[in-house]
Amino acid sequence: MIDFVFFVLNGILSFAVWVIIISAILSWLVAFNVINTRNPGVYRFMEMLDRLTYPILEPFRRVIPNLGGIDISPIIAILIIQGMQRFLLPMARASLYGLTGM
C-alpha cells in the first residue's frame, strides 16, 4: 500500500513537471507569434495550462526578482520538484517503512 501511494505521488510530480515544460514552451511560441491565441482551442488550452501551473509557479514568482522579462520560476520549480522526487520521496518511504515495521 505504501509503494502505491508513493507511485501515485511520483506520478503527480512527474505530471506537474511536464505541464510546466509544455506551458513554458507554448508561452514562447505565443511570444514569437508562432501560435495565435485568437484561436479558441489554443486559448482554452493555454488557459487550462495557466490554471494548472499558477499554484505551482506563483510562490516562486513572488520570491524570485524580475529579470527583465525573463521568468526563471519554471526552471526553479522543476528543479525543486525533481529534488523532491529523487531525495524526499525515497526518504519518506523509508521512514514510513520504519514506522510500520515493514
- Asked whether the beta carbons of 43 and 30 are under 8 A apart, the reply is no
pLDDT digits (tens, 9 = 90+) for 63-97: 998 788 888 999 999 999 999 999 999 999 999 98
Distances from the Cα of 64 to the Cα of 34, 49, 57, 74, 76, angstroms: 28, 21, 10, 11, 9
pLDDT in tens, 37-60: 899 999 999 999 999 999 999 999
Number of DSSP helices (H) and strands (E) in the chain, helices first: 4, 0
Angle CA 17–84–23, to nearest 5: 15
pTM over the 0.85 mark: yes
* Cβ contact 16:56 at 8 Å: yes
Is the pLDDT at 7 greater than 80? The verdict is yes
